């Protein structure tokens, strides 16, 4: 099951999202909106299955309109410790999704929110859930490997030939990184925290791959359509 979360950042036109990342939204996906992310649903052609937030972005009238239309409401106190997007992720995890796409998490005027949303990818509850932040100009996911018993982690990256693929160590060095299907290969090599070696690789086949023995990597794909 796929769940799509609509956050309150910029999303861009549906046609542009579809061109950048074909198939990003499954027809039967469940849609959870985080506060003001509700405003994006109509323009993306998505119904709202649940609203989560404190209401400071959507406003009382907007929340009440959703309530009258039959949308389930999960209201949070404004003096809370979590962002509305984190609360939406928690609501999604209660439904046990296989895949989670978070839209509106990267664009907008709040860099702090964008960085916090990248950080959400490291939530323990998302382990085993195919989670991506999706925008017209980027698709972001996290690959993590504990290194326990030498067990590696890997991911297949389906996309367009010519897409940029950036690998950034997250919080620590990434060790034993091996890639396939990218222009500049890595073979059991480290990516060191703070260094930029993993920037701007290029997808050369429809499905590329990344494997890592230990650490965490944020994978940022940029569509060749830009």
pTM exceeds 0.75: yes
Residue 11 has pLDDT above 90, yes or no: yes
* Mean of pLDDT values over 185-208: 98
Q: How confident is the model at residue 187 (pLDDT cuts 50, 70, 90)?
A: very high
CB atoms within 10 A of CB 115: 10
Residue where the block lists tokens 């099951």: 1
**Phi and psi torsions of 101, nearest 5°:** -115, 125
Q: pLDDT over 70 for what percent of the chain?
A: 100
Among residues 161, 167, 179, the alpha carbon closest in space to that of 140 is found at 167
**Residue-level pLDDT at 8:** 95
Q: What is the pLDDT of residues 155-177, one digit of tens each?
A: 999 999 999 999 999 999 999 99
Residue 149 clears pLDDT 80, i.e. is over it:
no
Tokens 């086949």 sit on residue: 205
Report the DSSP beta bridge partners of residue 124: none
Length of the chain: 226
Q: Is residue 219 within 8 Å of 140, Cβ to Cβ?
A: yes
CATH 3.40.50.720 is the classification of domain 2-136? no
Could you say which architecture CATH assigns to the domain 141-222?
Answer: Sandwich (2.60)
- Could you report the per-residue pLDDT of 39-93, keeping only the tens digit for each? 999 999 999 999 999 999 999 999 999 999 999 999 999 889 999 999 999 999 9
**What are the residue ranges spanned by the domains of the chain?**
2-136, 141-222
The strand pair at 2-6 and 30-34 is best described as: parallel
């Amino acid at each position: 099951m796929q769940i799509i979360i609509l956050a309150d950042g910029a999303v861009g036109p549906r046609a542009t999202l579809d061109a950048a990342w074909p198939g990003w939204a499954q027809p039967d996906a469940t849609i959870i909106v985080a506060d003001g992310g509700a405003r994006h649903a109509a323009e993306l052609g998505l119904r709202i299955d649940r609203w989560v937030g404190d209401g400071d972005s959507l406003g009382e009238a907007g929340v009440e309109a959703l309530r009258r239309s039959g949308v389930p409401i999960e209201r949070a106190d404004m003096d809370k410790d979590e962002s509305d997007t984190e609360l939406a992720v928690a609501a999604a995890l209660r439904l046990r999704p296989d895949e989670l796409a978070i839209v509106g998490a990267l664009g907008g005027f709040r860099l702090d929110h964008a960085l916090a949303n990248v950080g959400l990818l490291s939530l323990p509850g998302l382990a085993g859930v195919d989670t991506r932040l999706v925008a017209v100009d980027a698709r972001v996911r996290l690959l993590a490997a504990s290194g326990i018993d030498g067990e590696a982690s890997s991911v297949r990256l389906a996309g367009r030939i010519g897409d940029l693929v950036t690998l950034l160590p997250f919080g620590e060095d990434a060790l034993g990184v091996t890639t396939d299907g990218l222009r500049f290969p890595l073979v059991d090599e480290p990516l060191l925290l703070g260094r930029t070696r993993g920037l701007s690789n290029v997808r050369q086949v429809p499905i590329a791959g990344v494997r890592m023995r230990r650490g965490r990597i944020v994978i940022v794909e940029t569509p060749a359509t830009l």
